[in-house]
Amino acid sequence: MSTTTLPPTEKTQPVSAPPGGLSDRLKAERRLGWLLAGPAFFVMLAVTAYPILQATYDSLFSYRLTDPANRSFVGLSNYGVILTDPLWWQALGVTLLITFVTVAVELLLGFALALVMAKALSSIRPVVRAAILIPYAVITVVSALAWQFAFDINTGFVNSWFAWLPGVGTDTDWFGGWGSSIFVICIAEIWKTTPFISLLLLAGLAQVPEVLQEAAKVDGATWMQRMFRVTIPNMKAAIMVALLFRTLDAFRIFDSIFIMTNGANNTESVSFLAYRQTIARLEIGLGSAVSVLLFIAVVLIAGIFIKGFKVDLSQARGDR
């Protein structure tokens, strides 16, 4: 009988496995994983990595689309031109301002809307949810045009409706100055994307265990205490993911500016600069350099969120 109790020492590892390597089963799983995810992976490479590398390569050249014969290697001088140009820093400032203002307001509004969606009477809940989501379904260009018409001095209704406010009159030209232009651009952005943030926050709200709420209630916690001690700490991951997505999105703002001011009154954003150099001026080299700097800024933002605020993207999906 003793023979059977002894472990078969020679067979502790499968014969086929390389020394210190993986089991057959693990290998098969990995192969299946590649088979399933591989096509998507290569498509992603083709549509994201390739353009990024191409743009990085192009950014080292002085290259005008209509004059390919005079394309010449200039090293990093395109970056030098951009980073020493006040226009770049002004555009970066405008972009950061719009990003900060819109994301902050959207977070507050979005949270309020998420609470409404979560707590609304169950009979009207689907209607409320659909109504809140409508702006997000509108194409950005269309929403930008709609807001432009609303604030337009000739066709708009805003001037006559809000003439009782100080500083607003029938002669107020909203797109004639920097501050008022930025204000309208921000409003349009906030109206358009608050539903997105509230949708993500709604998912976060749903994750807060009801037992914790009940326990806090039993302990005599007020609504405010439950909100700040139970609800918000438990949905931190969802909040951070919502913030991250919206910040990245807001940083790339283009459509509203393009439609409403076309960059007048110093309202150009970083994306707008990239558009103007690449598409309007056809300076592929300079424009690519702007795009690469925009990409670096986006990577930095994502890095700060993920490392700095310790956002775990997998938590937002609820699979912790």
Partner 1 sequence: MSIEDRDGSTGSRPGSRGRRARSRRAWGGSAAALVLASTLAACGGDSGNASVLTWYINPDSGGQAEIAQRCTEAANGAYTIEVSQLPRESSQQREQLIRRLAAEDSSIDIMSLDPPYIPEFAQAGFLAPVPEDVVARVTEDVVQSAVDGATWDGEVVSVPFWANTQLLWYKKSVAEAAGLDMTQPVTWEQLVQAAQEQGTTIAAQGIRAEALTVWLNALIESAGGSVIAEGSDDPAGIQLGLDSEAGVRAAETMKLVSGVGGPAFSTAGEDANATDFEQGDAAFMVNWPFVWPRAQSAVEAGTLEASVPADYGWTLYPSVDTGQPSAPPYGGINLGIGAFSTNVDGAFEAAECIVSEENQAYYFTTNGNPAAKATVYDDPAVLEEFPMAPVIRQSLEQAAPRPQTVYYNEVSGGLQRTYHPASSIDPAQTPQEATDLIEAVLRGEQLL
> Applying CB under 8 A, which part among 38-46, 97-105, 107-115, 282-290 lies near partner 1?
282-290
Q: What stretch of H or E contains 72?
A: strand 72-73
Taken in order 212, 214, 218, 220, the sign of the CA dihedral is: positive
Least distance to partner 1, CB of residue 153, Å = 4
Closer residue to partner 1, CB minimum distance, 106 or 268:
268
Closer residue to partner 1, CB minimum distance, 180 or 315:
180
Residues 62-81 that bind partner 1 (CB under 8 A): 62, 65-68, 81
SS3 96: helix
239 with 204: CB under 8 angstroms? yes
Environment class of residue 295 by beta-carbon count within 10 Å: exposed (0-12), middle (13-18) or buried (19+)? middle
Is 290 one of the binding residues for partner 1 (CB under 8 A)? yes
Is 93 one of the binding residues for partner 1 (CB under 8 A)? no
Is 24 one of the binding residues for partner 1 (CB under 8 A)? no
SS3 127: helix
Contact pattern from residue 166 through residue 185 relative to partner 1, giving x for each residue in contact according to CB under 8 A and a dash for the rest: -----xxx-xx---------
Contact pattern from residue 184 through residue 223 relative to partner 1, giving x for each residue in contact according to CB under 8 A and a dash for the rest: ----------------------------------------
153 with 65: CB under 8 angstroms? no
Least distance to partner 1, CB of residue 93, Å = 14
Closer residue to partner 1, CB minimum distance, 181 or 231:
181
Alpha helices, H only, the chain: 2-5, 24-44, 50-58, 77-83, 86-119, 125-137, 140-151, 158-161, 178-207, 210-218, 223-226, 232-234, 236-251, 255-260, 270-275, 284-303, 313-316
Is 87 one of the binding residues for partner 1 (CB under 8 A)? yes
> Applying CB under 8 A, which part among 32-40, 41-49, 238-246, 273-281 lies near partner 1?
273-281
Among positions 88, 136, 183, 295, the unique one binding partner 1 when judged by CB under 8 A: 88
CA–CA dist 176, 163 (Å, integer): 17
Closer residue to partner 1, CB minimum distance, 105 or 264:
264
For residue 262 the two structure tokens come to 């076309």
Q: Put residue 22 in one of left, alpha, beta given phi > 0 → left and psi -120 to 50 → alpha.
A: beta
Environment class of residue 319 by beta-carbon count within 10 Å: exposed (0-12), middle (13-18) or buried (19+)? exposed
Closer residue to partner 1, CB minimum distance, 173 or 312:
173
Is 277 one of the binding residues for partner 1 (CB under 8 A)? yes
Positions touching partner 1 (CB under 8 A) are 62, 65-68, 81-82, 85, 87-88, 153-154, 171-173, 175-176, 261-265, 273, 276-277, 279-283, 286, 290
